[in-house]
A and B are shown apart, each in its own frame.
Chain A
Amino acid sequence: MNIDVLILFFNATLVTIISCVVVIGILKKQYLPVIQEEENKQRNAQNNNRANETITNDPEQKEGVR
């Protein structure tokens, strides 16, 4: 096996892998936390809506509310 040829093709492969790792690192660090936070916000908002709907649909709760 020619080690010098291996170095060339290893480096060519490595540079793509480095760029993928760097980009995925940026996504995980700078985008994922915001996505998760927004998802949580949406989930909480949905849960609150559902809870409100349950309250307004439940006659006993309606009485209680009154």
Chain B
Amino acid sequence: MAVGIMIGVLALYVGVGLALVKVIKTEDDFYTMGGRGSTVLIVGTLAATYLSATTLLGIAGQSYTEGPLVISALGSFGAWVGTLLAVVYVGRKMKAYGCSTMPDFFDKRFNNKWVSVVAIIIMIVGLIGYGVIQFIGAGIVLSEVTGVDYRIIVIIFTIAMLVFTAVGGMYGIVVTDTMMFFTMLMISVVIAPILIGQAGFDQMKNLAETLPGYWSIAGTEDRHIGWSISQFLVWILFFTCIPALVSRIFPAKNDFVILKVAIIGIFFAPFMQITVFLAAAAVRVLDPNISDPDYAMVIGFLDYTPPAIAGIGLAALMASIMSTASTLFVLVGFALSRDLYERLFDKKLNTKESLGAARIGQIIVGIVVCIITIIRPSAIYWISIYAGSIFAVGWLPTIVASFEWRRMNSKAALASMILGVTAFVLVGEAIRFNWLPVPEGIDALMISLVISVGALIVAAFLTKPNEYELRYYDTMKSTSMAKITLNEFMKRPDGLAQIKRQYKQIYAIAIIMTIITIGVWGYLFFMLGFN
């Protein structure tokens, strides 16, 4: 029954994805859903994207083994703050500058083919690595749970994703993501409470008696605090500029939607993650002998919830994988066709050609990813290690300097991106093979970030921005989402009244969400924080 419900829910996503092809009429519809994203849709797609197989399988497994605080107390906190920065800083600014994709920004800011090409290659490597590794893990787990052959599961995934990426573009992604978000929310509001209720808060706290360190940041492995702090920095830097999150803001209708998303969406980041990690601790009480901890949540769904709920749990797990992976594939598809092809060969495609090229790009990415996932080469793990961090060292210094520093130019961008990524790979390998002794817990990302920032500053001081770069910087400084939104609203007959209504509404949302957050986390702290 559980598997039947899961398949039914997934078929619904695919059906909706197919139905959305009718609304795609222009390039804007395909890339940014024509700027029609409401608060619900943008919150949905953002939340669905940051809950991935890594959370539900990997980190949940670690919470089961080592305790729920190891990653969540600092590492996840970095991810939540990073998500906030991705929304209100990077995403909001890039949307104001009229970017449909993140590589658009590099193109507009520097008007330099090689900066764009290097930025796009970084994005393609990073996104494929990040997407494929989740896909492999989830494929293994779900093929075991459902009994369906691993290769068939992977092929079904690929076809299902291509339906709403190649057909519906960003429109399909945003709408299906929002549906998936509500399915995933079931884990936090229904399944986690069921599991925690069965285990009991007292039994969960008592795990620390048999597993010392279970309710500590160091965990049962007694990890060094430097490691936890490093995790915090890695996630905050990575999430701030990962295209999967930043590009969620581009379809937003206006700045008021972005500001509401910044409050509501950010609340859901910890809400959807901490509840999963606590549920994993509950599963530890209920079944302490799970040999592969990555299965903790799946076993929790199947063995400790009613079959219908378990089916929805499995569908939510699949949704978390599909939403994250489809987002990554659609972005790589856009990057291959729209960004790389058009820029590298200096070709300007018309609307029809551009949509066709983007779809072909997505199908190529889908096939490549499907093949890599089926082959499961060990090298893919090498890529995955660099996948997330590559954005932090390759893109972040350039993006921040581009926003804030008038002297920033294409040579500094190239130096920072190339040296940052190269240093990350070399330092990472040197640490792995013990050629480079580093204080415990320090990540290769920290060292390479210093190199990336250093290269940017030195190159910027040794060179000068050209006239175009200076002019675009000044244009950027006179552009903001607030100005665009105010102008748009003031053209309406009752514009000022509408602005004031939105202003009050956002204030009210801020107050309500603060009360909810204090209530939810205060209650859980009361139940788990006292002996």
Contact = CB atoms under 8 A, between A and B. Distances in A.
B298 interface: no
Nearest to B89: A22
Contacts, number: 117
A31 B525 contact: no
Contact of A18 (B84, B274, B528): B84
Interface string A1-35: 11011111111110111111011101100111011
Interface stretch (B119-127, B136-144, B260-268): B260-268
Contacts of B486: 31, 34
B217 A30 contact: no
Given A35-B500, A38-B490, A22 B80 contact: no
Given A9-B524, A22-B88, A4 B274 contact: no
A12 B518 CA distance: 9
A15 B235 CA distance: 14
Contacts of B72: 8
A31 B483 CA distance: 9
Chain B binding site: helix, strand, loop or mixed by DSSP? helix
B84 A19 contact: yes
B279 to A, nearest CB: 15
Contacts of A49: none
Chain A binding site: helix, strand, loop or mixed by DSSP? helix
A16 B266 contact: yes
Chain B CB within 10 Å — which of A20, A32, A35 has the most?
A20
Given A16-B514, A19-B84, A5 B69 contact: yes
> Size class of B's contact patch?
35 or more
A4 B499 CA distance: 43
Given A5-B528, A12-B274, A27-B503, A20 B513 contact: yes
A46 interface: no
A42 interface: yes
Contacts of B259: 23, 26-27
Chain A CB within 10 Å — which of B68, B217, B262, B525 has the most?
B525
A42 B483 CA distance: 20
B507 interface: yes
Contact of A23 (B263, B517, B525): B263
Given A5-B529, A22-B262, A30-B480, A15 B514 contact: no
Interface residues of A, number: 31
A4 to B, nearest CB: 5
A1 B522 CA distance: 13
Contacts of B350: none
Given A8-B274, A12-B271, 19 more contacts: A2-B528, A4-B73, A5-B69, A5-B529, A6-B525, A13-B517, A13-B522, A15-B81, A15-B84, A16-B266, A19-B263, A19-B266, A19-B267, A27-B506, A30-B480, A31-B482, A31-B499, A35-B499, A38-B496
27 contacts: A1-B531, A2-B528, A2-B529, A4-B73, A5-B525, A7-B69, A7-B73, A8-B69, A8-B72, A9-B521, A11-B74, A12-B521, A15-B266, A15-B270, A16-B263, A16-B267, A19-B84, A19-B263, A22-B88, A22-B262, A23-B262, A23-B263, A24-B507, A26-B88, A26-B259, A30-B480, A31-B482
